[in-house]
Amino acid sequence: MRNTAFFITGVLLLLVQSNLFRLIGVTLRGIGWMVRANHDLTVPGLVPSLVLPLILFMGVHEYSLVRGACVAFALGYLTDLVGVAPIGLYTSTYVAIYVLSRAAGVRLAAQTMLMQVGLALAFTLVHSIMILVLLAIFGRDAWVPRALYIMALPHVLATGAVAPLVFRIAQRIHQVTMSGSPKETGGRA
């Protein structure tokens, strides 16, 4: 039940994420800083990843390794399909980030907003580096990683900014799916 809820939430976050650049462009068009002659905002990579903090939450809270990896795999595959990335790029990196966050979850607790932002910043940076390295190794065009590396820092900062919101949504799912479970009630149904 919990993994299904996380998957559905991830799909909804992915749909929002895939259209977020339009909302950011409309919202920030009139601000006036870093604008071109046609008044469009020109901060490449400003769009955050909404799915990555959800995967981090699942990894840090030590859900079943196989189930969590399957959810990360499915969300990564959907991200590959929705985006313009080569098939398998986000699929493999989301699973790797899930496993890394699970390994770090033993030592880290994402209870405070500061820790959530820190986790999101660190793991988004690792994820961005993984994407750039994989594109450099397996990509068809050698110029793509060089063109994308300037987008990494704004993407990391934007994802860190929205991470507490995604963590709050994931925490709500966690609480709803834990109530009434045998572990929570001490073995009584």
DSSP 86: P
* Joined tokens for residue 3: 């993994």
Q: Does residue 44 register a pLDDT over 70?
A: no
Q: Read off the pLDDT of residues 69-78 as tens digits, 9 standing for 90 and up.
A: 999 999 999 9
Range with the poorest average pLDDT among 2-11, 41-50, 80-89, 117-126: 41-50
Look at residue 19 in the predicted model and tell me its pLDDT: 83
**Chain mean pLDDT for the chain:** 80
As separate numbers, helices (DSSP H) first and strands (DSSP E) second, the chain gives 7, 0
Q: Does residue 32 register a pLDDT over 80?
A: no
pLDDT: which is higher, 170 or 108: 170
* DSSP H or E stretch at residue 11: helix 2-28
Residue 38 CA: distances (Å) to CA of 25, 33, 164: 12, 13, 34
Domains parsed from the chain with CATH numbers: 2-178 (1.10.1760)
Instruction: List the Cα angle 50/109/134 in 5-degree steps.
Output: 45
Look at residue 93 in the predicted model and tell me its pLDDT: 95
| Cα 147 to Cα 149: distance, rounded to the nearest angstrom | 6
Nearest-10 crossing angle of helices 113-138, 89-105: 140
Look at residue 107 in the predicted model and tell me its pLDDT: 61
Look at residue 180 in the predicted model and tell me its pLDDT: 57
